[in-house]
Amino acid sequence: MAGRDVRKPKTLGARSASKAEPGGVIAEMAVPFAEAVSKLLGPKVEVVIHSLQTETVAHICNPFSKREVGDPSYMTELDFRAGDSVLGPFERINWDGRVIRSISAVLRDSEGAPAALACINFDVSDVRAAQNAIGALIGAPLSGEEPEALLKNDWHEKMNRYIVGWCRERGLAVDSLSRDDRRELLDAIDRTDGLREKHAASYIARVLGVSRATVYNDLKGRRSSLNNM
């Protein structure tokens, strides 16, 4: 496409990371940045560093999104226009229904190739509750649309919205579901093929506060009860 400058991070192979390589950018630039921002702004701000080489979460501070280091980032289709450096701000829904305002910065190596993505997620739920008094804190204009490149493969966001919506329709809280409610929710997710994504069971287990084995046992029990009806 005309006007697009698509660059993919170089593969490190067996070499150790240097400043010009993705690993060097993450270790020497992204991680200190994430630690500094999280310490300055406190637990209401989560900072996630995505490696564009491994397409996984490389570092995370204040992880209220239930993501962990090593989780897939699902950014295979990411590309940037020449000069793009910031994506957002835009709003998302967390797994517990809280409103998150997010902005991401593209971190490049010395050759200008994208090496990492630093995502800052600000929980603005409490701010929204007092919006009239502290409106200046959330005055940055939202982008007209969510960045398609960033969210194209973000099944976490889709899963969060599905779980929150399912619970709201039934007047339930995500973090206090009964065993029967949890089984019903997992069955609904299973019927949408939501568990086919890589590491989906582990992520859903963290959201529901149970083990991955419990997720699989609940699904097995739910299927058995349906078959015996």
Confidence of residue 19 (pLDDT cuts 50, 70, 90): very low
Q: Confirm whether 73 is domain-assigned.
A: yes
Dihedral (CA of 23, 206, 95, 125) sign:
negative
pLDDT value of residue 3: 42
pLDDT value of residue 4: 39
- Domain end: 83, 118, 147, which one? 147
User: Are 162 and 94 in a shared domain?
Assistant: no
DSSP, collapsed to helix, strand or coil, labels residue 90 as strand
The H or E element containing residue 47 is strand 45-51
Instruction: Pull the structure tokens for residue 182.
Output: 């949890």
Pick from 1-10, 104-113, 143-152, 154-163: least confident: 1-10
pTM (2 decimals)? 0.65
Q: How many domains does the chain have?
A: 2
pLDDT value of residue 110: 87
Q: Confirm whether 168 is domain-assigned.
A: yes
Task: From 2, 164, 8, 198, select the one nearest 96 (Cα to Cα).
Answer: 164
Contact between 96 and 175 (Cβ < 8 Å): yes
Indicate the burial class of 49 (C-beta count within 10 angstroms; 0-12, 13-18, 19 or more).
buried
- Reported as a single tens digit per residue, the pLDDT across 179-213 is 889 989 999 998 888 888 888 899 999 999 999 99
Choice between 79 and 46, residue whose per-residue pLDDT is larger: 46
Q: Show the beta-strand stretches assigned E in 109-147.
A: 114-123
- Domain end: 147, 167, 182, which one? 147
- Domain end: 119, 147, 175, which one? 147
**CB within 8 Å of 156: residues ≥ 6 apart:** 65, 67, 74, 203
Q: Is the pLDDT score of 146 beyond 70?
A: no
Torsion, CA 92, CA 103, CA 208, CA 214, rounded to 10:
120
pLDDT value of residue 156: 84
The pLDDT > 70 percentage for the chain reads 73
Q: Confirm whether 59 is domain-assigned.
A: yes
pLDDT value of residue 129: 74
Choice between 51 and 16, residue whose per-residue pLDDT is larger: 51
pLDDT value of residue 17: 34
Q: Show the beta-strand stretches assigned E in 52-148.
A: 56-61, 86-93, 99-108, 114-123
Q: In this structure, what CATH number is given to the domain that contains residue 26?
A: 3.30.450.20
- Reported as a single tens digit per residue, the pLDDT across 99-133 is 999 999 999 988 888 899 999 999 998 877 776 55
